[in-house]
Amino acid sequence: MLVGELGEEALLERMRRVFAPAAAEVLIGIGDDAAVTLPLPGKELWTTDFLLEGVHFKRTWLTPAELGRKCLAVNLSDLAAMGAAPFYAMVSMACPAETSVDYIDDICQGVADLAGREKVTIIGGDTARSPGPLIIGIAVCGAIADGQAVLRSGARPGDRIMISGYLGSAAAGLWFFERGLSIDEFPELRRAFVYPEARLAAGALARRLGAASMTDVSDGLAGDLRHICNQSGTGARIDLRRLPVHQELKLAAHKFGLDVEELALQGGEDYELLITAPPEKCGAIIDEISRSAAIPVTEIGEILTQAEGILTVRSDGAECVMKRRGFDHFAASG
Amino acid sequence: MLVGELGEEALLERMRRVFAPAAAEVLIGIGDDAAVTLPLPGKELWTTDFLLEGVHFKRTWLTPAELGRKCLAVNLSDLAAMGAAPFYAMVSMACPAETSVDYIDDICQGVADLAGREKVTIIGGDTARSPGPLIIGIAVCGAIADGQAVLRSGARPGDRIMISGYLGSAAAGLWFFERGLSIDEFPELRRAFVYPEARLAAGALARRLGAASMTDVSDGLAGDLRHICNQSGTGARIDLRRLPVHQELKLAAHKFGLDVEELALQGGEDYELLITAPPEKCGAIIDEISRSAAIPVTEIGEILTQAEGILTVRSDGAECVMKRRGFDHFAASG
């Protein structure tokens, strides 16, 4: 059956069933004019992100469940980057009338599965017909019990710069998708783009262990590092030789002539955590996240003064001013 | 200048300037991974609505400032329908790269003007290029200090049914827009569609004065009354002869052969409040909202038992079962 045949009311009812049950803090969930909740303990955190067909994804690239899951994951990643825990989400969807109801059910199930795993309650949303692209928008609210959000503005000269996981994998996955090439040989590059993990446990650990500043790498390392430097009033030096790159990216780069350094520095959507901390805190952050959250953390540089600028150390050891371009959805062709 | 030339970063910076300053409860506003706020007093309310070009509006129908303002207004209307006050909003926008920056500035200014008037702080959002339609999505959070949200499920047999303002005006305005006819002769029909008011003061008054159930008329009276009946487990009787209709709608109907009753009963987007209350509370609700909020409130029927069904009283005094169709964005052609 198609969404256009089902109608908005029946579609909402289906979504309601997939998204139940609600947590105890939710007094009124989906179905009234607004949801009603108890205020969360500590401070509340808010973020919203949407995914647009033809800009962020094409339907052939991933299953509807992966699509729904990814939209929630990229929102949760923003909370992870503050060291916070998620509580509530609202899910909005606009789809062409000729979309199958099964497809929408699967999107919702993908959202619901990750929501269940991370104890997020879906408390509302909106639906409408789209005249063209499929659009999923999610808004989330989280909390930090002790009010210690890790901001982008906390970096200080002398801080070491660390990154969780691997860089450039999602951008390499996208490279395959955009060209319609088979990605079967590189499951990790596919996973990185299609199935990003919100580093909630790692973000909470980094916060507890004294991270000075933190953000998630959504626009690419270069762009997101620049956010930290701009908001902290600092410079930075990144050693390109240390950027953590997955073995599959090296293989794919070798086979297809990709620029590994460019993908790792400028590629978006890895949703890894970019963390800065004073040198004496770094050992514990690296060890604990690797051990408890089972994610490698790599030291890749240090925070400088603003006057020193934002620099990269190239493979030949030379220092250069970092190139400006991060991922820009308006500039991007994909 | 076009959005595609400006880039996402610079666009966000412009939005940040328009949306400043933040309220004291906002510890971290736009610009970090997530906003950080103090929890609100009492209970929190959450809702989200988006407007899509080609589905909810065309750019020729209204100014960009009116568009931005309307998107916030329809969200605030959901809070009004609970009797709540708004606090925070997140504003997301997807626009084609060839949109002018001035146009986006004006949308944001329209949002900011209403936000300022209603003391709403914009704490975040998201932007992206759209492959086609302009899309504005807003999520809002409000609060009720004493935790007394007025739900759709509170109606009881014997309650009187009341409506604020006039019905059918927005649908009539849309009728002109969709046909490309001049609406200059009917400024109130234009206003109803383009510049809906969120009945925040009226909603809060209705709550304090003992409203049993409440919703806003976004899908049309018939559809929204059905929501109340379904969720309250009741029936209802609406006297079509009493539906409040603006003089301009009568004039337009006369001139263009419109069906006033159909527009008043089934037309969407009036964003008036549909209120039920025990008979002894109705006088005060009608008087106070008319006096303090300067909005007429009209008694249009009563809540019945579920077994009695949902009925309309026609102009000849005959009772009929109410037709099913409310406004459905998936079924709608516009």
Q: Answer yes or no: is pLDDT of A328 > 80.
A: no
Q: Answer yes or no: is pLDDT of A332 > 60.
A: no
Q: Which of A100, A109, A135, A128 is nearest to A19 (CA)?
A: A109
C-alpha span between A173 and A177 (Å, rounded): 6
Among the listed ranges A111-120, B164-173, B239-248, B320-329, which one has the minimum average pLDDT value?
A: B320-329
Nearest to A128 among B55, B90, B132 (CB): B55
Mean per-residue pLDDT for A12-19? 87
Q: What pLDDT is recorded for position A110? A: 98
C-alpha span between B170 and B163 (Å, rounded): 15
Whether residue A155 contacts residue A275, with contact meaning beta carbons closer than 8 Å, is answered with no
Mean per-residue pLDDT for A303-327? 90
Interface contact flag, B133 A128, Cβ < 8 Å: no
Q: Token match 């949407």: residue? A: A50
Structure confidence at residue A4 as a pLDDT band (50, 70, 90): confident
Q: Answer yes or no: is pLDDT of A314 > 70.
A: yes
Mean per-residue pLDDT for A304-328? 89
H or E segment to which residue B127 belongs: strand B121-129
Mean per-residue pLDDT for B49-71? 97
Best mutation site among B3, B44, B152 for testing chain A: the one with the most A CBs within 10 Å?
B44
Interface contact flag, A46 B329, Cβ < 8 Å: no
Whether residue B85 contacts residue B142, with contact meaning beta carbons closer than 8 Å, is answered with yes
Strands B273-277 and B213-216: antiparallel
Whether residue A219 contacts residue A100, with contact meaning beta carbons closer than 8 Å, is answered with no
Full-model pTM: 0.95
Q: What pLDDT is recorded for position A326? A: 53
Residues written for chain A: 334
Packing angle, helices A101-117 and A64-80, rounded to 10? 30
Interface contact flag, B40 A40, Cβ < 8 Å: no
Mean per-residue pLDDT for B10-26? 84
Residues of A with Cβ-Cβ distance to B42 under 8 angstroms: 39
Best mutation site among A2, A11, A13, A36 for testing chain B: the one with the most B CBs within 10 Å?
A36
Per the DSSP assignment, residues forming a β-bridge with A301 are A161, A238
Secondary structure (3-state) at A23: coil
Q: Which of B99, B122, B110, B102 is nearest to B65 (CA)?
A: B110
Q: Could you state, in order of their start, the residue ranges of all structural domains in chain B?
A: 3-144, 152-321
Q: What pLDDT is recorded for position B20? A: 78
Residues of B with Cβ-Cβ distance to A137 under 8 angstroms: 48, 50, 92, 126, 137
Write down the mean pLDDT value for chain A.
94
Q: Answer yes or no: is pLDDT of B334 > 50.
A: no
Distances (CA, A) of A249 to A177, A219, A299, B97, B288: 14, 18, 20, 31, 68
In chain B, which among 40-69 make CB contacts under 8 A with chain A?
40-50, 52-56
Helices (H) and strands (E) in chain A, counts: 11, 13
| Domain made up of B3-144: CATH architecture | 2-Layer Sandwich (3.30)
Residues of B with Cβ-Cβ distance to A200 under 8 angstroms: none
Question: Counting beta carbons within 10 angstroms of the beta carbon of residue B254, is it exposed (0 to 12), middle (13 to 18) or buried (19 or more)?
Answer: exposed
Domain A7-144 CATH class label: alpha beta
H or E segment to which residue A249 belongs: helix A247-256
In chain A, which among 199-238 make CB contacts under 8 A with chain B?
214-216, 223, 231
Q: Answer yes or no: is pLDDT of B145 > 90.
A: no
pLDDT digits (tens, 9 = 90+) for A38-69: 888 899 999 999 999 999 999 999 999 999 99
What ranges in A88-186 are assigned the alpha helix state H?
101-117, 169-179
pLDDT digits (tens, 9 = 90+) for A138-152: 999 999 976 689 999
Among the listed ranges A109-123, B13-27, B41-55, B271-285, which one has the minimum average pLDDT value?
A: B13-27
pLDDT digits (tens, 9 = 90+) for B304-320: 999 999 999 998 999 99
Whether residue B248 contacts residue B175, with contact meaning beta carbons closer than 8 Å, is answered with no
C-alpha span between B219 and A9 (Å, rounded): 10
What ranges in chain B are assigned the alpha helix state H?
3-6, 8-19, 64-80, 101-117, 169-179, 187-194, 200-208, 221-232, 247-256, 260-266, 279-292
Distances (CA, A) of B289 to A291, B216, B298: 62, 15, 11
pLDDT digits (tens, 9 = 90+) for A83-141: 999 999 999 999 999 999 999 999 999 999 999 999 999 999 999 999 899 999 999 99
pLDDT digits (tens, 9 = 90+) for B94-105: 999 999 999 999
Q: Touching check for B97 and chain A: CB below 8 Å?
A: yes
Instruction: Tell whether ipTM is more than 0.95.
Output: no
Q: Touching check for A122 and chain B: CB below 8 Å?
A: no
Which residue in chain B is spatially nearest to A326 when comparing CA positions?
A: B9
Structure tokens at A115: 């929501």
| Domain made up of A152-321: CATH architecture | Alpha-Beta Complex (3.90)
Structure confidence at residue B25 as a pLDDT band (50, 70, 90): confident
Task: Find out whether the peptide bond into B21 is cis, omega within 30 degrees of 0.
Answer: yes
Judge whether B3-144 and B152-321 match in fold: no
C-alpha span between B126 and B113 (Å, rounded): 19
